[in-house]
Amino acid sequence: MRILQILPELNVGGVERGTVDFAKYLVERGHGSVVVSNGGSLVESLEQSGSKHYSFPVHRKNLWVMFRMVKVLRSIIIKEKIDVVHARSRVPAWIAYFACRRTEAVFITTCHGHYKNRLFSQVMGWSKLVIVPSHSVGQFMMRNYGVSSKSLRYIPRSVDRDYFAARPTPARNESKCIISIVGRITPLKGHKFFLRAMVKVIRNIPFAKIWIIGESPQKKPGYRKELELLVRHLGIERNVEFLGNRKDIPELLAKTDVLVMSSIEPESFGRVILEGQAVGVPVIATKVGGVVDIIDHEVNGLLVAPKDVEAMANQVIRVIKNKDIADTLVRNAKEKIKNNFLLEHMAEKTIAVYEELLKSTNILVIKLSSIGDVILSTASLRSIRSKLSQAKIYCLVGSDSRKVLHKCPYIDGMIIYDQKKDKGITGLLHFSRRLRKYRFDKIVDLQNNRTSHILSFLSFPKESYGYDNGKWGFLLANAIKNVKQNIPPVEHQFQVLKMLGIKYTEEQSYLELWPSPKDDLYVQELLDSEWLGNARYIVGVNISASANWPTKNWPLEYIAELANELSKKNVRILITGSEKDIAWARHLQSMVKTKLAVFTGKTDIMQLAGLIKRCSLYLTPDSAPLHVASAVGTKTIAFFGPTASRRHSPPDKNTLKIFEKKLTCTPCYSGKCKILTHACMREIKPSEVLECVYELLEIKK
């Protein structure tokens, strides 16, 4: 693998040293290692270990600079053929997230802190897998940034045993002991409380030396001066020494008798604790954040409450005056490091996460429209699953269509879009935030309208595919011109899938539905209620299309004439439709001489599938039940008038017979007949349909 780590700078700090250690490990194991930062004192040792470093201002919180760095980083990713981009801080993470789009590289973050600015920090939870160095940070990311526990990978930070453990440890001398605190000089590190605790320590051990190792940030140099003033105020200036930033941390720790960590806010981990323990220094730390993952109180270290000056002083005095306690803590600490916190532990777990990430692909297929259109997408879903068998595939559907895919074996889940609740700009922004939590790599937009294109874009996938409809198609990363309108609907979808390397074949274009045993039982009860259980011939008739398309309906009197003729051949007729069709069904019953089995308003889509499956033949206008009949393999007669059969009929040549009159006004694609004759449907006469029914059922005239 080729790994790129990106962080603000490479100066002294736990994150920085961890980055350099890990880069060295990668090179030693044959991986490619690239680091991007603003530079710093550790660049030399990084490059000496075999890694390549690029120096750019990826630390600056300036939108224009960040925007410019996206392009720069993307060029590095492509040039270095990077597989994984690992961001270790927030500004670099924003840059890396967008730089990885339209490249082959995958994006991952390690959360090194308890971030406060929620808007700016949310990017740290945007990778599919999020590495956290402690359980405390993991809980924080779940609670504050909505990161799923399934996405978290707990990998504690580590210590390079060879770098720290080989240092000679001098004999301890109570009268000349050294107490150190290591870290950036900032308020959250609790230096003021540490210094107040040292007052009591010095009273008991007058010749104790206090080393403050680290420096205040360049933007806040005044805080060190505050501490120097406090030292003079406390009267301990003879004992305290400010050493600043140092490269010889192992040597300094080897001379230290007690290491104190006095943080007053949650630490993401506490790498300096491991470094001290690896050298052989007993550690006293405040009980905050990830510190508790390292220190077991009274076993391999001592814990005190934050800001508890008295307790901190007492524990320092206790360790210095009791050699047995100090030796026990050091011995147990080294054992825990050996078992849990070595560089190879961290590195191997991190590489395993990279491999997991590279193998995982999250795909979203968008199909928001009607039930029939969602049924037409089942062939596409099956083909995507066949091509990308290891991917996690989700389908975004409207609330009315959710039952169609309830038991679909080709998807891992559905996301429901409520057009009433999620409409408008606010609704789209809110819903897209929900989609981003899935960390989709690819979005296949089979809907191809304004809403679907906007949701595709705002979900921030690496790749998106669909038709360019001439309006919002520019929001897709990969769009093809929608020039061939007059092709069958399933084949039309496969024009998009072709960009994913999925070819259209008639053998794979069939539709599917998955009624449950419970649905089948319900259908049997319906049939038994009308004494249809043992009927030799059952012809189902869908009485109407949707309320917006009355022009699609075959005339009611034609259905009545057909039913009367079929009853003479002992063919039973059942009527399907929605609740809005109940009145129509009653009117139809009054027009026929035989008893109809009327099931309008009595089935949902899966129960309808089970019902149509039990029919010998099914008659329907261009509507969802047409696609249901195709999916369950029932012989079907379809009526087309205002819409074109080539564009809307299912791919079912063997079981589908289409009646369609080619008139000068067809197809008009209008819910109202402009010439008021409804000629396209009235020209389909009952006599010719009856002939076809006899032929399909193999009934002699």
pLDDT in tens, 216-228: 877 777 888 999 9
Q: Residue 175 — pLDDT band, cuts 50, 70, 90?
A: low
Three-class SS state of 309 = helix
pLDDT of residue 567: 92
Domain that includes residue 21, residue range: 2-154
Q: Are residues 563 and 654 in the same domain?
A: yes
Backbone angles phi, psi at 170, to 5 degrees: -70, 160
Q: Average pLDDT in the 149-168 region? A: 78
- Examine residue 353 and state whether it is found in any structural domain, yes or no: no
Q: Are residues 449 and 329 in the same domain?
A: no
Q: Which CATH number characterizes residue 584's domain? A: 3.40.50.2000
Instruction: Give every CB contact of residue 509 below 8 A, 6+ residues apart in sequence.
Output: 379, 490, 491, 494, 651
Burial class (CB in 10 A: 0-12, 13-18, 19+), 480: middle
Cis peptide before 306 (omega within 30 of 0): no
**C-alpha–C-alpha distance, residues 377 and 402, integer Å:** 13
Between 63-79 and 90-100, two packed helices, what is the crossing angle to 10 degrees? 50
pLDDT of residue 484: 59
Q: Are residues 425 and 543 in the same domain?
A: no
Q: Residue 425 — pLDDT band, cuts 50, 70, 90?
A: confident
CA 45 to chain centre: 37
Per-residue pLDDT tens over the stretch 430-488 = 999 889 888 899 999 999 899 999 999 999 898 999 998 778 888 998 898 876 567 88
Cα 127 to Cα 333, 687, 688: the distances in Å are 33, 63, 61
Q: How many CB atoms lie within 10 A of CB 470?
A: 9
Q: Residue 71 — pLDDT band, cuts 50, 70, 90?
A: very high
Q: Are residues 320 and 437 in the same domain?
A: no
Nearest to 283 by CA among 242, 229, 337, 247: 337
Three-class SS state of 84 = strand
Kindly state the tokens that stand for 250: 């192992």
**C-alpha–C-alpha distance, residues 365 and 381, integer Å:** 8
Per-residue pLDDT tens over the stretch 601-641 = 999 999 999 999 999 999 999 999 999 999 999 999 999 99
Tell me the torsion sign for CA atoms 603, 608, 614, 617. positive
Q: Are residues 304 and 182 in the same domain?
A: yes
pLDDT of residue 498: 94
pLDDT above 90: residue 267: no
Kindly state the tokens that stand for 518: 């419970």
Contact between 367 and 395 (Cβ < 8 Å): yes
pLDDT above 80: residue 12: no
Per-residue pLDDT tens over the stretch 121-137 = 999 999 999 999 999 99
Contact between 76 and 5 (Cβ < 8 Å): no
**C-alpha–C-alpha distance, residues 22 and 20, integer Å:** 5
Report the range of poorest mean pLDDT among 283-287, 341-345, 541-545: 341-345
Q: Are residues 502 and 573 in the same domain?
A: no
**Total H helices, total E strands in the chain:** 28, 25
Q: How many residues does the chain have?
A: 701
Report the range of poorest mean pLDDT among 164-168, 266-270, 344-348, 565-569: 164-168
- Examine residue 178 and state whether it is found in any structural domain, yes or no: yes
Which secondary-structure segment (H or E) carries 628? helix 624-632
**C-alpha–C-alpha distance, residues 376 and 490, integer Å:** 6
Q: Which of 154, 177, 202 is the last residue of a domain?
A: 154
Instruction: Give every CB contact of residue 214 below 8 A, 6+ residues apart in sequence.
Output: 12, 181, 182, 183, 184, 185, 189, 243, 244, 245
- Examine residue 356 and state whether it is found in any structural domain, yes or no: no
pLDDT of residue 659: 95
| pLDDT, the chain, mean | 91
Q: Average pLDDT in the 647-660 region? A: 87
Which secondary-structure segment (H or E) carries 444? strand 442-445
- Examine residue 556 and state whether it is found in any structural domain, yes or no: yes
The residues that bridge with 619 in the sheet, in sequence order, are: 541, 637
Q: Average pLDDT in the 285-313 region? A: 94
Alpha-carbon Rg for the chain, nearest whole angstrom, is 36
- Examine residue 355 and state whether it is found in any structural domain, yes or no: no
Contact between 291 and 270 (Cβ < 8 Å): yes
pLDDT of residue 165: 59
Q: Average pLDDT in the 53-66 region? A: 95
Report the chain's terminal Cα–Cα distance, integer Å. 73
Q: Average pLDDT in the 24-46 region? A: 94
Kindly state the tokens that stand for 96: 């890396």
Q: Residue 169 — pLDDT band, cuts 50, 70, 90?
A: low
Only one residue has tokens 């790994």, namely 3
DSSP 487-512: S-HHHHHHHHHGGGT----GGG----
The side-by-side arrangement of strands in the sheet containing 362-367 is 413-417, 392-398, 362-367, 442-445, 463-468, 478-481
Q: Are residues 310 and 425 in the same domain?
A: no
Contact between 693 and 539 (Cβ < 8 Å): yes
Tell me the torsion sign for CA atoms 151, 16, 73, 218. positive
Q: Are residues 415 and 311 in the same domain?
A: no
Burial class (CB in 10 A: 0-12, 13-18, 19+), 219: exposed
The side-by-side arrangement of strands in the sheet containing 302-304 is 240-244, 209-213, 178-182, 258-261, 283-286, 302-304
Q: Average pLDDT in the 654-677 region? A: 88
pLDDT of residue 440: 92
Cα 602 to Cα 42, 222, 474, 629: the distances in Å are 73, 77, 44, 17
Tell me the torsion sign for CA atoms 452, 454, 460, 466. positive
**C-alpha–C-alpha distance, residues 128 and 360, integer Å:** 9
Kindly state the tokens that stand for 288: 């905050």
**C-alpha–C-alpha distance, residues 636 and 618, integer Å:** 5
Nearest to 659 by CA among 625, 629, 682: 682
Q: Are residues 298 and 323 in the same domain?
A: yes
pTM greater than 0.85? no
Which secondary-structure segment (H or E) carries 597? strand 597-598
Q: Average pLDDT in the 668-679 region? A: 88
- Examine residue 36 and state whether it is found in any structural domain, yes or no: yes
Q: Which of 125, 154, 183 is the last residue of a domain?
A: 154
pLDDT of residue 485: 65
- Examine residue 168 and state whether it is found in any structural domain, yes or no: yes
Q: Average pLDDT in the 670-699 region? A: 92
pLDDT of residue 248: 85
Which secondary-structure segment (H or E) carries 5? strand 2-6
pLDDT of residue 15: 87
Residue 93: DSSP 8-state: H
pLDDT above 80: residue 117: no
Kindly state the tokens that stand for 621: 């206008």
**HEC secondary structure over 155-204:** CCCCECHHHHCCCCCCCCCHHHCEEEEECCCCHHHCHHHHHHHHHHHHHH
Q: Are residues 247 and 368 in the same domain?
A: no
Q: Residue 166 — pLDDT band, cuts 50, 70, 90?
A: very low
Q: Which of 97, 122, 154 is the last residue of a domain?
A: 154
pLDDT above 60: residue 346: yes
> How many domains does the chain divide into?
4
Only one residue has tokens 């301890």, namely 172
Q: What share of the chain is helix, strand, coil (3-state, %, to 5)?
A: 45, 15, 40
The side-by-side arrangement of strands in the sheet containing 656-660 is 597-598, 572-576, 538-542, 617-621, 636-640, 656-660
Q: Average pLDDT in the 43-51 region? A: 94
**C-alpha–C-alpha distance, residues 269 and 93, integer Å:** 20
- Examine residue 631 and state whether it is found in any structural domain, yes or no: yes
**C-alpha–C-alpha distance, residues 257 and 556, integer Å:** 97
Contact between 170 and 254 (Cβ < 8 Å): yes
Contact between 350 and 155 (Cβ < 8 Å): yes
Q: Are residues 331 and 382 in the same domain?
A: no
Q: Are residues 523 and 600 in the same domain?
A: yes
